[in-house]
A and B are shown apart, each in its own frame.
Chain A
């Protein structure tokens, strides 16, 4: 089972700033099978990125994903007020799928 470790646990930033979130896999994974989700309080998760770098339908282009092997990242180019939330990476290349523990992006 692949373990995903996200860092940092919490990111304190101001609106307009750039956010970079990290997701490290315990072994090399195909970038085809790495996704990112956003979860706002009291809401179900929402798919942002799949295949490491493909934006899901309706996701603004300020969200971008990159990476390969064991190191992946999600970048939010300029934080909007609605972007302050928790973000999870997800490996789905095999059963079981696994999620990272999450990174909370909070308002500084």
Chain B
């Protein structure tokens, strides 16, 4: 089965670091881009960035550039989203999502999301 499996919910304090994951299975991980989408509580979807695991080419939304790091480990078919210093405003659901093969970046496969709660 083709799927994206995301890591479990996290509760962190402001100032802490965090790395969440998204494991692809059932397809050739290196041949498809993987994107990250934020959804703050009760709000809409925000495009954060996207990575091509084949060569680690990564693109960020200006809103998230410098705030998060997107990476991938081809050997274990896993993409990551990480923060070095969390803020309360990072509290949100984070989805990874995969476009079809090629350069049309609509998302036809989604993970179930990772809920990140940042609170003192």
Contacts and interface: CB of A to CB of B under 8 A. Distances in A.
Contacts of A90: 45, 47, 106-107
A99 interface: yes
Contact of A96 (B59, B104, B108): B59
Contacts of A100: 44
Contact of B106 (A47, A57, A95, A98): A47
A39 B43 CA distance: 12
B53 interface: no
Contacts, number: 68
Given A45-B107, A92-B105, A95-B50, A102 B60 contact: no
Interface of B: 35, 37, 44-47, 49-50, 59-63, 95, 97, 99, 104-108, 110-113
Given A95-B59, A96-B61, A47 B45 contact: no
A7 interface: no
Which 4 pairs show the lowest CB-CB distances between chains A and B?
A: A96-B61, A35-B106, A44-B110, A92-B105
Interface residues of A, number: 25
A102 B95 CA distance: 17
Given A95-B59, A96-B62, A97-B35, A47 B108 contact: yes
A82 B30 CA distance: 35
